[in-house]
Amino acid sequence: MLNIVFLGPPGAGKGTQAKIVCEKLGIPQISTGDMLRSAIANQTETGLKAKTFMDAGQLVPDEVVIALVKERLAMDDCKKGYILDGFPRTVEQAEALQTFAKLDAVVDLDVADEVLVKRLSGRRVCPLCGAPYHVDRLNGEKSCKVDGTPLIQRDDDKPETVLSRLEVYHKKTAPLIDFYKNAGLLHSIGGDLTLEEISAEILKVLEASK
């Protein structure tokens, strides 16, 4: 059983890697971004609280996401381990997490800001299955390869919002690198590797954390 956190700036590939690794290990991927987007789509109370913050590229208030994650980790499928993708994002969230979860490893994906801006502003996603794409590799294709749904640009991937998300990351989330280094849990992986190389590195690190 491994309880894992994926840390890293927006656009570092946390979601992509979390999906690959979760499938390999047979554990759930818990993405607060996906949970919040689905809460918005379903117009739940949480969704209504989260929407304005997300559209502006700001963090949703700690108490909202903490409650969401606490409830999710209490579900049966998390007993065999999980990957938290996008949580915690503040020291307050990390401190709250300590009270209801025991982590085995924190994987930090380290990517330079210039690369992130390019990736995020060119990102397109399938609104149905969440599959991510980049305009540079789509060759004009406008639909999802998996289910044919027309791809969209997330509201928070618009250029103005991308910059505020990076600013928020540096101010609020980057301090978690030291937080988890001090806890002896941190494993940093450089972002100048290919997708496959990063997955392989992550699996190696996790194997050693068992």
Catalytic sites, residue numbers: 14, 89, 123, 154, 165
Question: For residue 3, what are the β-bridge partners?
Answer: 82
Radius of gyration of the chain (CA): 16
* 33 forms part of the interface with ligand ADP (CB under 6 A): yes
Question: Tell me, what DSSP letter sits at residue 58?
Answer: P
* 53 forms part of the interface with ligand ADP (CB under 6 A): yes
Query: Interaction with ligand ADP in 123-162: which residues (CB under 6 A)?
Result: 156
* 57 forms part of the interface with ligand ADP (CB under 6 A): yes
In the chain, beta strands by DSSP E? 2-7, 29-31, 81-85, 105-110, 123-125, 132-134, 186-190
Question: In the stretch 74-93, what mask flags binding to ligand ADP with x, by CB under 6 A?
Answer: ------------xxxx---x
* 19 forms part of the interface with ligand ADP (CB under 6 A): no
* 165 forms part of the interface with ligand ADP (CB under 6 A): yes
H/E segment holding residue 199: helix 195-209
Closest CB 14 distance from ligand ADP, rounded Å: 6
Closest CB 108 distance from ligand ADP, rounded Å: 13
Kindly tell me which of 89 and 124 has the beta carbon lying closer to ligand ADP: 89
3-state secondary structure of 59: coil
- Label the pairing between strands 81-85 and 2-7: parallel
How many C-beta atoms surround the C-beta of residue 196 within 10 A?
A: 9
Residues that bind ligand ADP (CB under 6 A): 10-11, 14, 32-33, 36, 53-54, 57-60, 65, 86-89, 93, 156, 165
